[in-house]
Amino acid sequence: FLCRLISTLIFIKKLCSCSVSVCVCVCVCVCVCVCSLQADLLLLSSSEPHGLCYIETAELDGETNMKVRQSLSVTSELGDPNNLAQFDGEVVCEPPNNKLDRFCGTLYWKDCKYGLSNQNMLLRGCVLRNTESCYGLVIFAGPDTKLMQNSGRTKFKRTSIDRLMNTLVLWIFGFLVCMGVILAIGNAVWEREVGFLFQSYLPWDPPVDNFLFSAFLSFWSYVIILNTVVPISLYVSVEVIRLCHSYFINWDRRMFCNRSNTAAEARSTTLNEELGQVEYIFSDKTGTLTQNIMTFNKCSINGHPCTVDFLLFKMFTWNPLADRDFRFYDASLLEAVKVGEPAVHEFFRVLSLCHTVMSEEKSEGELYYKAQSPDEGALVTAARNFGFVFRSRTPGTITTQELGKAVTYTLLAILDFNNIRKRMSVIVRNPEGRIRLYCKGADTVLFERLHSCCQDLMNITSDHLNECAGDGLRTLALAYRDLSEEQWAEWAERYRGAEKATDCREDHLAAAYEEIEQDMMLLGATAIEDKLQEGVPETIAILSLANIKIWVLTGDKQETAVNIGYSCKMLTDDMTEVFIINGHTVQSVREDLRLVHRSIYLSTSPVFLHISSFLSPAAHIGVGISGQEGIQAVLASDYSFSQFRFLQRLLLVHGRWSYLRMCRFLCYFFYKNFAFTMVHFWFGFFCGFSAQTVYDQYFITLYNIVYTSLPVLAMGIFDQDVPEQRSLEYPKLYEPGQLNLLFNKREFFICIAQGIYTSVVLFFIPYGTLSQATQSNGVVLADYQTFAVTTATALVIVVSVQISLDTGFWTAINHFFVWGSLTAYFTILFTMHSSVLFNIFPKQFHFLGSAHNTLAQPVVWLTIALATVICIAPVLAFRFLKLDLKPQLADTVRRLITTLNKKKNKSVYQRIQGRINTQILIQMLSRIWFHQMFLKYFLASSVQFHTLTKS
Amino acid sequence: MGKVQVGTGPFARRPDNSAFKQQRLPAWSPSLTPYTVLPVFYLLAVVCVLLGVWLFITVENTHELKVDYTEEGTCIRCFELRKDPIQARNSCDCVVNFNIPKTFPGDVFFYYGLVNFHQNLRRYMDSRDEDQLVGRKKSLKSPSSYCEPFAHDEHGEPIAPCGAIANSMFNDSFTLTYHPPDGAEVPVPLYRRGITWYTDKNVKFRNPPTNTTLQLAFQGTAQPLFWQQPVYELDPADPSNNGFINDDLIVWMREAAFPNFKKLYGILIRAETPFSEGLPAGNYSVNIIYNFPVQYFQGRKEVVLSTVSWFGGQNHFLPIAYLVTGGLIFIAAIVLTVVYVKVGRDGKNMEE
C-alpha cells in the first residue's frame, strides 16, 4: 500500500560531527510514514499512547512477530510538529556498527541526561504496524545504518566443479601456448631447411626476411587456429544446463507442498551440481526439523507432574477467554486451579506475567497473542486457558484476568532474555502493593540461583525435567522471589545507574540483573512440544545412508537434543560415539567448533550445506525452509521449499543428477574439442608448419555451435543413470559425488588423452589411405579438399558415436538432436559445396563439388568406417572392463533394473540384490575405517552440535 | 527464476504434471552388458577381417609401377642443366627406359609424381584467385592481392592465371613408347582428357567470355613468370583445351594435401592392338621434355603407371589396416571374454 506521508517537512538543526569513537548527531527530525523506514531513528514520539510504536523487523532478522519500541517519556509528549521543531537535544552515541540488538547512547536535552537503548530505536528496514505515525530523530543514515552495516560484501558462490573448470581452462590455455611454441619451432626449422629452398616457388613475404620472424608469425597463427581447444562455448553451455536443472527443481511436483501451496524454488542457478556433492548438512532444529508449532505438553508444579490427557479434551467452558485450539487438559490440574492452590496459582501467574508477548483484542473475548518466540506464546496461552489471562500491557503495567477477576500489576522492571543469561524476569507490584520478581529460564541457570530451602523440590523437579527432556520436550523452569521495598529501592538505584552507563552498558546491566535474581523460590517447570515435521526421520535416515553428516544446532537441553536426535533417526543405538558440542559460552563453542572444523578440513575439502529457516550466507549452499519464520531465510537462500523432507529429493535426485550430467557433459566437451583441434597439430608436420587448417573454414566455425553442441547439451540436461526412485532406494548412489569421482583432474586427463588419441586416428588413417588412393576413374584422391571433407566427416561421425555411447537416457529429444546434428552436417556440407553458392561467391565457396566427389567414393567411406572403429573400439573395451571388474553401484543398480524389466528369473534378482547389500556394507565398513584412521571424533555418521543460542 | 503462475485455488501454484517437467519422458536406457558388447566385438572383428581380406585380394589384382626419372638415364644431363637458372629456358629432352614384368590388364593410368613438393603450404594455397579462374573479366585484369608476388609481371601487366600455384605448374611432358620383343617400337597412345573432376572442368574453371578468339580474351594479361607459353596456348593440339579449362592446369590447381603426391597425366587408349587388353609386359621407354627443376627443393620426379579396381588404384594401406584392426579387435574380444568368464563379477562369481 502507498506510503502515507503525514508531513514531509523538516529541518536541519546541526550537521553531523563525528569523532572517532563517539558520534554526535543531531540531524534531521523526520516524521515517518507507514512503510519501511529508510534510516536509523531515535523514536521521539508516536501517535500511540506512551510513545509506543509497533514494528515488524522481518527484513532485519526474519522474525515476523510484532515488536514494541518506546520513546523516552520526556520526548513522548512532543506530539505536535511545532513542539518538535523546538526540540534541540543532542545525542551522543556509539559509532555505526552492525549489532542489530543493541544500541548505546545518551540524549542531552534541557540540561538533562537520558540513557538510550535499543528499545528506543527504529532501525532502517523496519515496518510500522498498528501505529498511525511517529516522529524520530535520524541517528544514522545511508551506509551507516545497521542494515547497511550488516550487508557485507556478497560472496559470489561457485561450485567446486566451477573452480576446477577454471583451473583446467587455464591449463588448456598453457597447453595451447605449448603447442604453439612446438609448431613455431617446427616452422623455424622447416623454413630454414626446406622453405628457404622452396623460395623460387613460394617466396617469403617481403616483411618476413628470415625464418625466425616466420616462426614468430606461425606461433600466432597456430594460437588462432588451435584456439578451439579452449572451449569458449563451454561456459555458455554449462549455464544453460544449470538453468534447465533449476527449472526441473521448480517444476518438481514431488517437492510441492499442498498445505502451504508452495513449490520448491531454485533461487540460484549456479549451484545445482554442488547439490550432488554435499557432505555436511548444518541444520536448525526449530522450524526446520520441527513444525515450529509449540504446544504446552507437560508441567511440574511444586513437585507434582501433570501430563497431557488428550482424551479428556473439553472446552474450558468456565473460562470465556480460553483459546479454542488449546490441547492441554488435566482434570486434576484444573481442579487444583479451581480449588485455589497457591502454588498452582503462582505457577500460572508467572506464565501470564513473565513474557514479552503483545496482545491484541479486537473485540471482547477475542484475544490474539503476538509472541517473539512460539514457545512463549504457547506458555501464555496455557496460562490463559487455566484462567490466568494476559489481556494487555502498557509500558508500566500488565493487566491480567485471574479466574475472571481483572488484576493490574505495576511493571517495575523487565530483565531481558539473552543468550548468555538464558532467563528472563519481571519485577511487578501487585495491587496489594507486594513486590515480586518472577523468573523463567533454562533449568541449569535457574537452579543455581535458587534459595537453599528449595533443594528437595529442585531434585524432584529436576527428575521431572529430565523425564520431559527424555521425551524430546523443550523445558523451562519457573521461580519467584519476594522483594521488600528497601531491596527494591536499593536495587532500582543501581539498575538506573547501569542503564545510564554510556559504555559497557550490557555488562553493567547483566551484573545488576545477576544481583537481584538470587535466592529465588522454585515453582515448577514447563515442557513444550514442538512436533517434528512429516517425514523427517525417514529423510534423515536416508541422508545418513548417503553418507551425509548432519549437524543440528539447537538451544535445547542436551537430553532434549539427544532425544530429538533419536526420534528423528539421526542418532541410532549402534553409534559408538556421538559428538556433542555443549557450549555454555560463545567462546567455548567457538573453540570446540574450531577443533571439529580442523578435523573436517584435514580429511577433505567437503561441501557444506546449510538448511535453515534463518540463514547465514557463509554456507556453500543455503537451503531455506519457507514456512513459519518469515521470508528472510527464503530470500537469503539458494534453494527453498516448505518441508524438510524435500531435502532428500533435492540432494539425492536433483543434486545427484545435476552432478552426473555436468560431469558427463564436461568430459565429453573437452574430448570433442581436443579431437577436433589436435588434427591441425598433426597436419602441421606435413604442411611445413604453415598454419594450414585441415578443415574448411565453415566447418571450423560450425563444428562447435551446430554439429556437436546440441546432442551433448541434451545429454547434459536429460541424462539419467538410474531412475529417481532408485536413487532414493539406494542412497549410496550419492557417494561418487561426495568423493568427487566423476569429474576430477584424473578424469580430465583421460578425456584429453582420448581426444588426442582420436585426433591421431582421424589424421593418420585418412592420411595413410588417401595419400595413395585414386578414384576408380583414375583421378587422384590425395587432394587437399578431399582430405578435408573426409577428415571432417569422420570427426563428426566419431564424436556422434561417442555421444551415443555416453548418453545413458535416450529420450526423443536426444534422438532428435543426435540424428539432427548428423543430418545438419551433411545438409550444410552439400549446400556449402554446391555450384549455386560457388557461382555467387567463388572465393568463399571454393570447396565446390568436394562433397559430391568425396562422399561418392567407397574408399572414403571405408576410411571413415575404419577410423570410427579404431576410435570407438578401445573406449568400448575399457568401459566394458571397468564395468566387469570394478562396477560402480550405479552400474549394478542399472543391471538390476534391466533384469527386473526383463523379469527373466527371480533368483538372479535376489542374487544381485544380495550383492548390492554386500557392496554397501563393504563401502560402509571402509568408510568407517577411514574415519577411525583420520578423525578420532568422527565415528558417528551424524554429529550433534549443541549450544544455546535461542530460547 | 521462473515463477510458477500465481493463481487462486489450493493447488494454483502446483507445477504441471507433464512428463517433460517431471523428467519422466519415455526413454531408452541402453547399458553395456556382456550380451551386447562381446557379440559386437566378435562381429566387428569378423567384419574387419573379411573386409581386409577382400580388399587385399582386390589390391593384389591391381598393378603399379613407379619410375623415378629425376636423374635416371639421359635425364641426368637435363637435371644438371636445370641447376643453372640461366639455362632455364633451354629445352632439354631425355629418355628413361624401364620394364613392365607383367601385363597391366584393363585401364592403365599414367601419372607424374613429385616428392617433397609442398602444395599444402598455407600461403601457397591462398595464392590463387577463384574469381579470375572462373573467368570474371574484372579479376582477370586486377588479380586478387593474395596472388602477390605473382599477380603482376615486371611491366605491371596482370598475370593470368595469377598466383604461386599456377606459376609453379608442372611442365614436363611425356611420350611413352613400347618396345615389343620383335618388331618396331610402338608409341603408347594416351588420352589426355577426362583427367579432372567434372565440376572443376565445367563449373570451377571457365575462360573469360569472348566472341572472338581466346587470345583476344586474354589480351592485356601476361603469362605466369615461369611459363614458357601463355595460358591460351597451353595445348597446341586441341584449341578447346586452352585457357583456364586446360586439363593439366586444372589438375595442377587441385592442390595435393601432402608433400609427396602424384597427379593424373593421361589414360591409355585401348582402341588398338597391342594395347586393347592393357599394357603388355615388356620394355618401355618414356621420352621426357624435362622442364621442371626439382633440385632447388631437393625434390624427386617420377612417372607412375597404374591400373585400378572398383575402389581405386593400388592402395595397400587400407586392407592392411583393416586386417590389423580386425586382428586386434579379435584379440580384445578374446581378452574380454576371458575376463568376463574368469574374473568378472558378472561371470563365474555370479553363478556360485
A592 is in an annotated binding site: no
Q: Which residue has the higher pLDDT, A464 or B46?
A: B46
Contact check, Cβ <8 Å, A885/B199: no
**Number of C-beta neighbours around residue A429 at 10 A:** 17
- Average of pLDDT values for A580-596? 54
Residue A393 DSSP SS3: strand
A422 is in an annotated binding site: no
Spatial distance between the Cα atoms of A394 and A408, rounded to a whole number of angstroms: 10
A456 classed as catalytic: no
Contact check, Cβ <8 Å, A869/B329: yes
**Number of C-beta neighbours around residue A363 at 10 A:** 6
Torsion of CA B216, B220, B226, B228, to 10 degrees: 30
What DSSP string runs through A512-526? Answer: HHHHHS-SBEEEEEE
A111 is in an annotated binding site: no
Per-residue pLDDT tens digits for A277-290: 888 887 777 777 77
Chain A with chain B: Cβ pairs closer than 8 A: 295
Residue A576 pLDDT: 46
A556 is in an annotated binding site: yes
The confidence band for A35, taking pLDDT boundaries of 50, 70 and 90, is low
Spatial distance between the Cα atoms of A104 and A505, rounded to a whole number of angstroms: 7
Residue B4 pLDDT: 43
The confidence band for A185, taking pLDDT boundaries of 50, 70 and 90, is very high
Taking the Cβ of residue B256 and every Cβ of chain A, the question of whether any pair is shorter than 8 Å is answered with: yes
- Average of pLDDT values for A679-695? 93
**Number of C-beta neighbours around residue A799 at 10 A:** 26
Which residue, among A582, A281, A252, A628, has the nearest Cα to A444 in the 3D structure?
A: A582
- Average of pLDDT values for A157-169? 88
Least CB–CB distance from A881: residue in B107, B127, B336? B336
Terminal CA-CA length for chain A: 35
The confidence band for A6, taking pLDDT boundaries of 50, 70 and 90, is very low
Grid coordinates belonging to B43: 562381429
* CA of B212 vs chain A CAs: smallest distance (Å): 24
The catalytically annotated residue of A40, A252, A284, A638 is A284
Contact check, Cβ <8 Å, A686/B258: yes
* CA of A630 vs chain B CAs: smallest distance (Å): 19
Spatial distance between the Cα atoms of A229 and A18, rounded to a whole number of angstroms: 58
The confidence band for A600, taking pLDDT boundaries of 50, 70 and 90, is very low
HSE (side-chain half, CA atoms, 13 Å) at A212: 0
Spatial distance between the Cα atoms of B33 and A88, rounded to a whole number of angstroms: 87
A286 is in an annotated binding site: yes
Contact check, Cβ <8 Å, A248/B23: yes
A554 is in an annotated binding site: yes
Residue A91 DSSP SS3: strand
Q: Tell me which DSSP letter residue A621 carries.
A: E
Which residue, among A530, A609, A536, has the nearest Cα to A570 in the 3D structure?
A: A536
Place of cell 510514514: A33
Contact check, Cβ <8 Å, A248/B2: no
Q: Which residue has the higher pLDDT, A498 or A602?
A: A498
Element (DSSP H or E) covering residue A726: helix A724-729
Contacts of B136 in chain A (CB under 8 A): 842
Query: What's the whole-number average pLDDT of chain A?
Result: 79
Best residue in A251, A810, A850, A911 to probe B by mutation, most B CBs within 10 Å? Answer: A251
Taking the Cβ of residue B37 and every Cβ of chain A, the question of whether any pair is shorter than 8 Å is answered with: yes
Asked whether the beta carbons of A581 and A589 are under 8 A apart, the reply is yes
A555 is in an annotated binding site: yes
Contact check, Cβ <8 Å, B263/A197: no
Spatial distance between the Cα atoms of A102 and A502, rounded to a whole number of angstroms: 12
Contact check, Cβ <8 Å, A835/B199: yes
Torsion of CA A870, A872, A877, A879, to 10 degrees: 160
Spatial distance between the Cα atoms of A806 and A819, rounded to a whole number of angstroms: 15
Per-residue pLDDT tens digits for A873-930: 999 999 999 888 888 888 888 877 777 776 655 555 566 666 666 655 555 554 444 4
Residue A486 DSSP SS3: helix
A950 is in an annotated binding site: no
Spatial distance between the Cα atoms of A884 and A888, rounded to a whole number of angstroms: 10
Which residue, among A892, A671, A695, has the nearest Cα to A803 in the 3D structure?
A: A671
Question: Which of 76-115 (B) contact A at CB < 8 A?
Answer: 107, 109, 111
Residue A373 pLDDT: 74
Spatial distance between the Cα atoms of B59 and A245, rounded to a whole number of angstroms: 55
Spatial distance between the Cα atoms of A635 and A151, rounded to a whole number of angstroms: 13
Spatial distance between the Cα atoms of B247 and A211, rounded to a whole number of angstroms: 36
The confidence band for A699, taking pLDDT boundaries of 50, 70 and 90, is very high
**Number of C-beta neighbours around residue B3 at 10 A:** 9
Spatial distance between the Cα atoms of B134 and B131, rounded to a whole number of angstroms: 5
A943 has pLDDT over 50: no
Q: What interface predicted TM-score (ipTM) does this complex get?
A: 0.94
pTM of the model: 0.82
Spatial distance between the Cα atoms of A594 and A581, rounded to a whole number of angstroms: 11
Cis ω for the linkage preceding B149 (within 30 of 0) = yes
* CA of B185 vs chain A CAs: smallest distance (Å): 26
At residue A292, φ and ψ (nearest 5 deg) are 65, 30
Least CB–CB distance from B315: residue in A769, A786, A874? A769
What DSSP string runs through A811-839? Answer: -HHHHHHHHHHHHHHHHHHHHHTSHHHHH
Residue A169 pLDDT: 92
Which residue, among A929, A897, A930, has the nearest Cα to A913 in the 3D structure?
A: A897
Q: Percent of chain A beyond pLDDT 90?
A: 26
Q: Please, which residues have CB within 8 angstroms of residue B294's CB and are 6 or more apart in sequence?
A: B70, B82, B114, B116, B117, B300, B301
A578 has pLDDT over 60: no
Least CB–CB distance from A769: residue in B107, B204, B318? B318
A23 has pLDDT over 50: no
Compute the C-alpha angle A444/A446/A447, nearest 5°. 70
Least CB–CB distance from B15: residue in A251, A777, A811? A251
Strand partners, A229: none
Grid coordinates belonging to B263: 597427379
A858 has pLDDT over 70: yes
Question: Which of 284-303 (B) contact A at CB < 8 A?
Answer: 296-298
Residue in chain B nearest A790 by alpha carbon? B257
Spatial distance between the Cα atoms of A543 and A539, rounded to a whole number of angstroms: 6
Grid coordinates belonging to A317: 467452558
Asked whether the beta carbons of B135 and B206 are under 8 A apart, the reply is yes
Least CB–CB distance from B322: residue in A206, A814, A866? A866
Grid coordinates belonging to B313: 588404384
Terminal CA-CA length for chain B: 54
A131 has pLDDT over 90: no
The confidence band for A330, taking pLDDT boundaries of 50, 70 and 90, is low
Per-residue pLDDT tens digits for A220-262: 999 999 999 988 888 899 999 999 999 999 999 989 988 888 8
Residue in chain B nearest A640 by alpha carbon? B1
Spatial distance between the Cα atoms of A626 and A747, rounded to a whole number of angstroms: 39
Contact check, Cβ <8 Å, A846/B204: yes
Contacts of A843 in chain B (CB under 8 A): 129-131, 144
Residue A948 pLDDT: 29
Place of cell 557433459: A665
Distance of alpha carbon A11 from the chain centroid: 45
Residue B283 DSSP SS3: strand
A604 has pLDDT over 50: no
Distance of alpha carbon A627 from the chain centroid: 16
The confidence band for A950, taking pLDDT boundaries of 50, 70 and 90, is very low
Which residue, among A715, A721, A731, A639, has the nearest Cα to A887 in the 3D structure?
A: A721
Cis ω for the linkage preceding B230 (within 30 of 0) = no
**Number of C-beta neighbours around residue A63 at 10 A:** 16
- Please state the three-class secondary structure of B62-112 as a single string: CCEEEEECCCCCCHHHHHHHHHCHHHCCCCCEEEEEEEECCCEECCEEEEE
Residue A914 pLDDT: 62
Residue in chain B nearest A201 by alpha carbon? B168
Long-range Cβ contacts of A825-834 (<8 Å, 24+ apart): A825/A706, A825/A707, A825/A793, A825/A796, A828/A698, A828/A702, A828/A706, A829/A699, A829/A789, A829/A792, A829/A793, A832/A696, A832/A698, A833/A789
Q: Tell me which DSSP letter residue A771 carries.
A: T
Strands A621-625 and A639-641: parallel
At residue A373, φ and ψ (nearest 5 deg) are -125, 145
Per-residue pLDDT of chain B (352 residues; tens, 9 = 90+): 444 444 556 677 788 888 899 998 898 888 888 888 999 999 999 999 999 999 999 999 999 999 999 888 888 888 888 887 777 778 889 999 999 999 999 899 999 999 999 999 999 999 999 999 998 888 888 898 888 889 988 888 899 899 999 999 998 999 999 999 888 889 999 999 889 999 999 999 999 988 888 888 888 889 998 888 899 988 888 888 888 999 999 999 999 999 999 999 999 999 888 899 889 999 999 999 998 888 888 889 999 999 998 888 888 999 999 999 999 999 999 999 998 888 765 443 443 3
Contact check, Cβ <8 Å, A771/B261: yes
Taking the Cβ of residue B314 and every Cβ of chain A, the question of whether any pair is shorter than 8 Å is answered with: yes
Asked whether the beta carbons of A801 and B288 are under 8 A apart, the reply is no
Residue A476 DSSP SS3: strand
Spatial distance between the Cα atoms of A352 and A369, rounded to a whole number of angstroms: 12
Q: Which residue has the higher pLDDT, B6 or A294?
A: A294
Question: Which of 162-201 (B) contact A at CB < 8 A?
Answer: 164, 167-168, 194-200
Least CB–CB distance from A784: residue in B14, B120, B316? B120
- Please state the three-class secondary structure of A95-151 as a single string: CCCCCCCCCCEEEEECCEEEEECHHHEECCCCEEECCCCEEEEEEEEHHHCHHHHHC
